Every structure is written in C-alpha cells, then in structure tokens.
Chains A and B, each alone.
Chain A
C-alpha cells in the first residue's frame, strides 16, 4: 500500500484498502475558519440538535484567517459565531482575532502550532488543507456539510484515492524554489491531471527541501485536482513536529512495491523559473519568456507564498535595491511577522530590507487579497491591474477584479519582477 492507503486503512480499521474503496475514516483533526466555520456550525446544530456536543474537543481547531481586517459587518458577525460556539463547546484550540492568540493563515499556523502530526487524518473546510500532507499526514479539503458531519460523528465517508508518484531528484539551483517545482508539475499534468488522486512527492530533491518548502508543494496539489498531496515523514519532519507538540503519533510509509497509477520523474537541476499565466494555474510559461509583460503590482503572501522562507527568498533579491511597482507583503501568520523582524540577512532584518526597498507598509497576517474578499481587503484588485503573486490561484476575479490578471510565481520571481516592473527571471537581477 501507499502511505495514503495505509493511513486510510488504519484510520478506518481495515487491514487493507484499495483505490476506489469507500471507507468510513476517523478524523484525527478537523480544521475550520471564519468563512466556512459558521455554516459548518449551522449544519452541526441543525442535524445533531441544539444541545449537541462535538465528537472530540481536542480534535477541532478553529483558525479565523480569511476576512479579519475588514469593516464588513457580516465578516465580524461570523467571527462572533465562532466565538459563541467555542464557548458553548469549550473548545481549547481557537485562535481569536483581536487577541494575543490570533495566528493568521490557517494552513501556515496549523503545523506551526503542532496540530499536524505524521500518519494522522486531517480534514479541513478549505481546499488548501492538502498542505499538511507535507508532514506525512492524510489531509484534504471538505465542505461544510461533511465538516458538520465530522463534528457530530468524528468520521467521514472517504473514497480511497489512487496515487500518482512524483519523483524529484537532483540539486535545486539557487534561483529555484518549491513553488517553481509545483508550477512545473501542474503545468505538465494540467489542472485536472490529478483529479481524485493522491499526489505523492518523493526523491532526493524533496528530501533536501525544508518543511516550509514541502508545504508549498503539497499546498498546490489541489490545483491539479488532487484529493491530497503527501510526502513521507523523515527526521526533518520529526524534529519539526517534536519541537511543537508532545502528542504521540505513528508515522506510516509507502511500501517499496506499492502500486501507483503513474510515476513522473524530474531532474530539478535542469528546471527554470516559471510563472502560471492568467487564468489557470497550469498555464505554465518560463519567466524569461514573459519579459514583455509589464506589471502593476506584486503580492507576496498566503498559505502558499507567505511563509518566513518565502520572505527570506524575496529579501535576498530585494536587498539593497528599490521596487519599481506597488509591492504588497502579507506575512501569513504572527510567527512569520515576528520572523521578519528577527531574521537577518547581512546584518539587516527582512523588514528593514523590504522597507528600504520601498514596499507598501507590511500588512498584518491574514489571507488578505489572495482570494479577493470584501471590497476593503488589503491588496485586493479593483481594475485592470497585472499582478505577479506568490499565491495559488489566478482564476478570473480571484484577487477581486474580473479585469485584473494574475501571474503565479515563486518569491524569487515575484521579487525580481517587483524590482523591474515586468516579469523577470530572478537570474536577471
């Protein structure tokens, strides 16, 4: 069996599962946020009764992150709904905006907080829940109804996905990042190339990646239609998890002879920086072939590209230089925000490097303009802006305006483009 199949077998009490089997899997962790939490809670109470109790208070995490810094009244009401539910149920893991416990973007915060452990099942009311496969968990996005069901029962009917294996070998050049790798893969297999599948990433290049960079890869598995992305845990994973939680976990691994539906091989040393052109994440082009694209805005943030290492990459490019276009930075979480002050390159903090480069005032952590959101959202597009962004989706209207165009890129490429005002291969600056 593959790692995905083994986790699902164990969590459904079966000795063996095969792709296509429909099984009732136990939920190890249920994640929700301000956009889908209130609807999930509504379903939970409607279906299980107004006095119902959640299946396990220790297994629910609520991380509001989407619409935090907005004047939108309904957005505030929705966070109030979460607060009332947390109080009613006595939930220990709620990270309340406006208090010291607030974190920011749920998929960056969840592993930071030690809520992601190898071998577990994680269900979340957000498609990018697949991020957490980077630590060897089975993690997938679900809707409010399924989440409401889990809240009451602790289980979910899951179809076992067939696995596609991606073997990435070779040494990653200094101008490439995990974002380039996943954009290459999505560009090759297409936005529905992994529909209903598990994407398993392996090989020496994956082994060499940090946990944050592995998260970037698994985060975008859903952009190829995958149910989950997953990377076998290793010592790096255990060190990361152990530094954050004392809770026990039991890692699982693919058998060497596990059957997969297809295997794709990459030598990462031969790859070049890429972008995904509007309006699909698989619309791949080499960054150097897009030099003619003039841009209005650069956005660095989100669960995909708003982690501390993403900002380190951007700062390496921007250090000692000036940006030529409006450049918006949104650290994903409070921890990342703190990292901007604490992390230095050549004696200068990341924050100082960015400020000297002339970026816009750095926004507080949240999903912000990644998905547009309420009209007063930081960085949201309102016209015909052309944006280079470290986020995950470039659909029509994704960042707000139907007329704007979003190019997805790595932090290196985004930062290089900010310096020149057109799409720029980081090797050219």
Chain B
C-alpha cells in the first residue's frame, strides 16, 4: 500500500555521518525484525547509540517516538547493511528522514522495506531546525516547511526509485511490475 505523503510533527535533528551503530547498536541485533514483538523492541532502541548529550529519541511511554521526521546532514546511515537501522526508525514511528545525502545501503534498505522515506534536501537543514521544531514534509511537492515561520525548504526529486517508494517497498513494486506473482 502506498504510504501517506504528507508528514507533520516535531523533528529530531542530527548531524553528518549518522552511522548504523548509532541508529541501532549491535547489542540489539539479536532481535529479529520479522518477529512482531522484536520489531517493536527495535523501535524502542532506535538511535540508542547516540551519546547521552542527545535527547532520547524513542521517548514515548510505549517505546515509540514523538518525532516523525528525522533531519540529518551528509552520509546518513553509513556503515553496516543491517536492515534493523531503517526498521528501528520505522518501528519507532518515524515516517521520513530528510538528509543532505545517504549511504547507499541505508537508502536502499529504507526504500526496499518501505519503513521510512529517505528524502534528500537541496540544502543543509541541520542548522535550520532544532529538535522539537514542528515541520511538514510534502512528498509530492518535494518540500519541508518549518511551521513556526512558514519557511519552505526544497527536497530533491526522488528519482529512479520513486516507483518502488510509491509502491511501498521492493516486494510491492515487484508484484506491480509482474516480477513475482500474487
């Protein structure tokens, strides 16, 4: 099922080179994402690798996050191929990451799973938002808006993977184009 394309809520602001060990530390890789209970647990550990100077990301009582939008700098998701990384964000309730650029496996895993939209900003946004600011991401319009003053920032068009994202992931896309049955 194609996902909602208008995302509104507080943002969680990160920096450059957010690696997969920060996104989900290896001690939690004993959890298997296809087991529903462990999927939820992964969400509660999203960004648990960050230094203590960062506010807790999955800070809701039920282990989810109050931040549907994550903002990063360059090379977001570098490191491991662990699909647990985009899954942890998605399981926590994040809907989109907006970063200047991505490490390719994280981007690919985000698209393939349909867990989060990996969106690229035209400009660096780490300094334009602070954690807790309200924002609205409009995917068809390729924009993110800072709601406090209405300032609009451009996102790059999604490009070649747009059909996979629109379909909701790799399997949905493959079924749409007849690569696999059902």
Contact = CB atoms under 8 A, between A and B. Distances in A.
A22 B83 contact: no
Nearest to B35: A42
Contacts of B58: none
Nearest to B49: A397
B81 A36 contact: yes
Contacts of B160: 20, 22, 159
Contacts of A396: 19, 21-22, 49-51
Interface in A323-345: none
A195 interface: yes
Interface stretch (B6-14, B104-112, B128-136, B139-147): B104-112
Given A159-B160, A395-B22, A191 B75 contact: yes
A195 B21 contact: no
B104 A143 contact: no
Interface in A97-153: 124-127, 129, 141-146, 149, 152-153
B1 interface: no
B29 interface: yes
B86 to A, nearest CB: 8
A91 interface: no
B103 interface: yes
A66 interface: yes
B21 A393 contact: yes
A46 interface: yes
A225 B174 CA distance: 27
B123 interface: no
Contact of A372 (B19, B25, B74): B25
A152 B182 CA distance: 13
Contacts of A225: 75, 78, 103-104
Contacts of B103: 192, 195, 225
B80 A375 contact: no
Contacts of B34: 38-39, 42-43, 46, 144
A222 B31 CA distance: 24
B171 A47 contact: yes
Nearest to A24: B179
Given A159-B160, A192-B101, A372 B27 contact: yes
A227 B101 CA distance: 15
Given A191-B75, A397-B49, A374 B170 contact: no
Given A81-B32, A145-B109, A227 B78 contact: no
Interface string B21-57: 1100111011111110000000000000111100000
B21 A143 contact: no
B169 interface: yes
A188 interface: no
Contacts of A142: 81, 105, 108
B33 A39 contact: yes
A192 B105 contact: no
Contacts of B101: 192, 195
B21 A149 contact: no
B83 A195 contact: no
Contact of A145 (B26, B32, B49, B170): B170
Interface in A12-70: 20, 22, 24, 35-36, 38-39, 42-43, 46-48, 66-67
A125 B49 contact: no
Contacts of B113: 143, 145
B102 to A, nearest CB: 8
A167 interface: no
A291 interface: no
B79 interface: yes
A371 B21 contact: yes
A144 B31 CA distance: 13
B41 to A, nearest CB: 10
Given A149-B170, A192-B103, A396-B22, A374 B27 contact: yes
Nearest to A76: B30
A75 B52 CA distance: 27
Contacts of B30: 35, 67, 72, 74-75, 78, 374
A157 interface: yes
Contact of A146 (B32, B35, B78, B108): B108
Contact of A143 (B29, B50, B79, B81): B81
A35 B20 CA distance: 14
A157 to B, nearest CB: 7
Interface of B: 17, 19, 21-22, 25-27, 29-35, 49-52, 74-75, 78-84, 101-105, 108-109, 112-113, 160, 164, 169-171, 174, 179-180
Given A39-B84, A42-B34, A396-B49, 20 more contacts: A36-B82, A39-B34, A47-B180, A78-B32, A124-B81, A142-B108, A143-B83, A143-B112, A144-B33, A144-B34, A144-B83, A145-B113, A149-B170, A153-B180, A191-B75, A371-B80, A374-B30, A395-B22, A396-B21, A402-B51
17 contacts: A35-B82, A67-B29, A67-B30, A124-B81, A125-B83, A127-B81, A141-B105, A145-B109, A146-B112, A149-B170, A153-B179, A192-B17, A195-B101, A222-B105, A227-B104, A395-B79, A397-B21
Ranked 8 nearest A-B pairs via Cβ: A42-B34, A143-B83, A143-B109, A141-B81, A74-B30, A192-B75, A145-B112, A127-B81
Interface of A: 20, 22, 24, 35-36, 38-39, 42-43, 46-48, 66-67, 72, 74-75, 78, 81, 124-127, 129, 141-146, 149, 152-153, 155, 157, 159, 191-192, 195-196, 222, 225, 227, 280, 371-375, 393, 395-398, 400, 402
